[in-house]
Structure 1
């Protein structure tokens, strides 16, 4: 056999081998989708566990893990094609509320409020599939859940991307399942629901020409706004993911601490006493710090750090414990089964 015929036979053989392997699935790519931790985490009432979302090739599930790190335990999975977000512990630690979202035929998100119960491992749908629920917060007595829901998913400017808008807040009684509307604002933006320890005031972040913290009195419906004072790189606060401390005396949030050489905003964690409104920077990761959560019985917080912020199409989240005074930090090392 000539050298040319040998080369042709070799090439034909390699093509046949490639097709066989492809057909058997050995060379086919795995399922597409994000693999990694979700942005938000919550801490249990006894400060022993965190709950979070972890996605594997686009399939998301909620887990718990020790705050000290270690093996994660599966709580519940999303239905096929859906994704989970914003898990939060009930005040007694026996339930976890979260949001399950998916896309309609127009690729617009829809979302419903869900509740997992540790006692029987059951999952309940608390809202229907017609709206776009984004997050929820338990009342201090654990008898109600407050949740935010968007009225539309659109862009109000031709140069802006589509996002949820026309927000209002609702409350569901977990005993009767009755739902009542708390606000009637149709807000452009509304997020990060929280309640004061006495359960009488609802806190949330809103945007009205500038970022602001809003305190909504649940008795008379009156509202007051709070604007942090601090050394922010943008000159004015750009409040992101605010959280209220267990005693109601402090608010933690992330804001722009500086700008990188290429102009990217570097977000760090801040803590602000409500009586002075003077915010102090408490982290120095030099990355994108977000979603602070106060411990309930210790002067510490959990923050989420995204090492891939503004450098990749997919995030690279990790969870860290930081001291409230800014001294000391430790990563929560979690093993996913």
Structure 2
């Protein structure tokens, strides 16, 4: 795998989203020819993912569920990179975030059988976007600030809130009033609930009650570690949520408020976790140097590696 050195502040700005996507090596280098993020199609047949190329721009590919036959579905333009593709619940559309090379702000786009279409302008720092549970609207997280809160720290996105984009009215509405330090991994569960990871007054995984405008942190009564370390939540069914707990993968029971270990620690953080209901499998990506996605059953059995190779 090849690397480019980060030599000055300009490159920190250029690769800001690369930091969010976790493609910075231990030596403060930006990795290229690198798998950034992924999603699994609802029918369990395809993987969509963004890939950082040697020109340090990212594009979006789709491959078979075993990683074979990857092909570009959002072609790399001279000025725009594409990140964090997410399928609609019917599998007919993919929403993604795009930004100009060297820019901080970004925009939301949708690709489907009719082609690629820009949804929002490029005047704000959108970090991720998802379809609502009924595919009628979009939800997205947006940062209100990009700065350093410490003389020793690099600039980063802060002041996050959740927004709704009405696909019919073509307008955005602010949903939360958090100004959170960080907010990510949002999932729209139903008309009244969302699931997300957040670093704010409390850290961890939260259920957002829309009608009450209340965020409830998930806390396990039998957790071995501190559940403020919960992150990357995905819903398995009406009772169970799978998430990372520092270096471990755990199953959280929302009725008994207990956690059960799925995979033990390997000393590497989980970067992205997905669950496919059709296949009844968990898919995940680690924060390491590999270009691999892994699948595993909910009970921790049948762990398999899916290598992603772009030539």
TM-score range, shorter chain: 0.7 to 0.9
> What TM-score results when the alignment is normalised by the length of structure 1?
0.76
Alignment partner for residue 326 of structure 1, among 294, 300, 304?
Answer: 300
Alignment of 1:57-206 (within 5 A): 57=54, 58-102=56-100, 109-117=104-112, 119-120=113-114, 122-196=115-189, 198-206=190-198
CA distance in 2 between counterparts of 1:56 and 1:330 reads 26
Aligned-CA RMSD value: 2.2
> What TM-score results when the alignment is normalised by the length of structure 2?
0.82
2:42 is aligned to: 45
- Structure 2 unmatched runs, 5+: 1-29
1:45-72 CA deviation, whole Å, 9 max, x = no partner?
1111111111221232111112133111
- Quote how far apart the aligned CAs of 1:302 are: 0.3
Kindly report structure 1 stretches of 4+ aligned residues shifted beyond 4 Å.
none
1:114-149 CA deviation, whole Å, 9 max, x = no partner?
1111x22x1111111110000112112111010010
Instruction: Label 1:317 to 1:269 Cα distance change in 2 as closer, same or farther (>3 A).
Output: farther
Instruction: Label 1:83 to 1:285 Cα distance change in 2 as closer, same or farther (>3 A).
Output: farther
Instruction: Label 1:231 to 1:54 Cα distance change in 2 as closer, same or farther (>3 A).
Output: same
- Quote how far apart the aligned CAs of 1:298 are: 3.2
The structure with the larger Rg is: 1
2:234 is aligned to: 243
Alignment partner for residue 34 of structure 1, among 19, 27, 32?
Answer: 32
Alignment partner for residue 268 of structure 1, among 248, 257, 263?
Answer: 248
Secondary structure of the residue aligned to 2:151 is coil
1:95-127 CA deviation, whole Å, 9 max, x = no partner?
1001113465xxx6211111111x22x111111
- How many matched pairs? 279
CA distance in 2 between counterparts of 1:37 and 1:285 reads 22
2:245 is aligned to: 255
Alignment partner for residue 206 of structure 2, among 210, 214, 226?
Answer: 214
- Structure 1 unmatched runs, 5+: 1-31, 257-266, 309-315
Is the CA contact (8 Å cut-off) linking 1:268 and 1:290 kept in structure 2? no
Is the CA contact (8 Å cut-off) linking 2:291 and 2:309 kept in structure 1? no
